[in-house]
Amino acid sequence: MHVCRIERGWVDTCFWSNGSRVIASAEEVRRLRECCQHVYIDTAKGCAPRENSRQPQSTKHRSATPGVVSKNTIALYQHSHSVLEAVFADARLGGSIDDKAARAIVHDLILSVLADSNALLCLTWLKDKNDSLARKAVNVCILALVFGKAIGIPKAKLHDLGLGALLHDVGMLKIPNALLYKPAPLSTDERNVLERHVLDGSRMLAASRTFSDDVLKIIHAHHEWLDGSGYPQKLKGHAIGLFPRMVSIVSVYEALTRERGYGKPLSPASALRHLYRSRGAQFDARLVDKFISTLGIYPTGCLVKLSNGAIGQIIAVTEQNRLRPSVRIIMDADGRPIKDALIINLADESGLFVKQAMEPEQLPEGLCRADPETQSL
């Protein structure tokens, strides 16, 4: 028989179904009776093959599940990264920034973000300490576009925001890799060298005469802090434009959640707490509040413990119900890793909720990373 619903959440039982379940043996009936008194049966669907009983009802159902990233989105992300790698490689050799290629990247990312913000946000979580400058730039661009969409930036202006975010650290191309990837905190002299990337980047783009003032302001001012303690001009408050204030928030968030040579990544939830503590000093308080609201208290990529003891990773957050996201279960309540992607939507599980956020180091290494080939997020 095809059990489509029970009186409690499936994840609170021993079956771990993804919304429905074929019960095909007397033993399974006995175990189901131990879990609940009432079930709902869909007689129109009959019995599916036994080996499919632990899978979603159909391929169609699976593709519609929040958080499962389409092949097209994966291809877009990978293409954006590879194209920007080529753009940066040419610039390192003394060439100018290919603005047409950069604009094409932003154009395609905007279309994807406007269609489904969660899909690309999932992919920004696939990163490690060896990530290239191009991959970091694409991730910052995606975050900025999601942020811009949330606060109502017009589509035409999203192009400038996205382009500035994509190229915000282009001046880093002038910095030696030994300094960029130094596995220890920088000295004062090294910090001074690194900070020159803002002026270098501004000069690189200004020389091409193809970028708008809004884009150039992002490059020049994304390290300015609200209280005047930033660089290079120590601007204060609204003397820092809206777009630079936005990119400063998302670039710090991206850096905090990325493994660096001298520090472990923070969980998305911890990174948001860091931003919140710095609101009004480094960052615009209203923009920080809106960024947190956009990503949710438990943002995409965040590791969480559920109320039943299972461990999962947030893969989709909806504006209507940010406290009840979709979660990819990666470890059951007994600490056993779950190999096959099990995705649950907490909005459909009234008895299940997020109990707490977790840091990556609290889990076995590699357990929380999605497979970039299969994207079983």
Q: What is the per-residue pLDDT across 206-265, written as a single tens digit (0 to 9) for each? A: 988 899 999 999 999 999 999 999 999 999 999 999 999 999 999 999 999 887 766 778
The structure's pTM equals 0.77
Q: Domain check: are 236 and 317 in the same one? A: no
Q: What is the pLDDT of residue 374?
A: 41
- Give the pLDDT band (50/70/90) at residue 25: low
In-domain check, residue 64: no
The CA distances from residue 89 to 128, 180, 263, in Å, are: 21, 16, 27
Q: Domain check: are 137 and 240 in the same one? A: yes
Q: Domain check: are 280 and 133 in the same one? A: yes
Q: Domain check: are 287 and 332 in the same one? A: no
- Give the pLDDT band (50/70/90) at residue 57: very low
Number of independent structural domains in the chain:
3
Q: Which of 246, 266, 295 is the last residue of a domain?
A: 295
In-domain check, residue 223: yes
pLDDT greater than 70 at residue 281: yes
Q: Domain check: are 7 and 83 in the same one? A: no
Rounded to an integer, what distance in angstroms lies between the CA atom of residue 171 and that of residue 169?
5
* N-to-C CA span, the chain: 30
In-domain check, residue 373: no
Q: Domain check: are 151 and 189 in the same one? A: yes
Average pLDDT rounded to a whole number, residues 48-61 = 36
Q: What is the pLDDT of residue 29?
A: 61
Q: What is the pLDDT of residue 58?
A: 32
The CA distances from residue 160 to 25, 27, 107, 112, 294, in Å, are: 60, 61, 10, 16, 20
- Give the pLDDT band (50/70/90) at residue 28: low
Q: Within 13 Å of residue 11, how many CA atoms lie on the same side as its CB?
A: 31
Helix, strand, or coil here: 151? coil
Helix, strand, or coil here: 14? coil
In-domain check, residue 181: yes
The CA distances from residue 23 to 1, 13, 38, 132, in Å, are: 5, 14, 14, 49
Q: Domain check: are 8 and 125 in the same one? A: no
In-domain check, residue 169: yes
Q: Domain check: are 137 and 286 in the same one? A: yes
The CA distances from residue 296 to 174, 306, 316, in Å, are: 36, 16, 10
Of 108-112, 197-201, 348-352, 360-364, minimum mean pLDDT range: 360-364
Rounded to an integer, what distance in angstroms lies between the CA atom of residue 217 and that of residue 239?
11
In-domain check, residue 218: yes
Q: What is the pLDDT of residue 26?
A: 58
| Domain region containing 20 | 2-58
Q: 361 Cβ partners below 8 Å, 6+ apart? A: 264
Better-predicted residue by pLDDT, 104 or 332: 104
Better-predicted residue by pLDDT, 204 or 349: 204
**How is residue 160 annotated by DSSP?**
H
Average pLDDT rounded to a whole number, residues 47-70 = 41
CATH of the domain at 220: 1.10.3210.10
- Give the pLDDT band (50/70/90) at residue 53: very low
Share of the chain above pLDDT 70, in %: 77
Of 52-56, 117-121, 244-248, 347-351, minimum mean pLDDT range: 52-56
- Give the pLDDT band (50/70/90) at residue 5: low
Q: Which of 295, 318, 338 is the last residue of a domain?
A: 295
Q: Domain check: are 246 and 127 in the same one? A: yes
Q: Domain check: are 150 and 170 in the same one? A: yes
In-domain check, residue 35: yes
Q: Which of 265, 295, 325 is the last residue of a domain?
A: 295
Q: Domain check: are 144 and 272 in the same one? A: yes
Paired strand residues for 305? 311, 356
Q: Domain check: are 129 and 226 in the same one? A: yes
Q: What is the mean pLDDT of the chain?
A: 82
In-domain check, residue 368: no
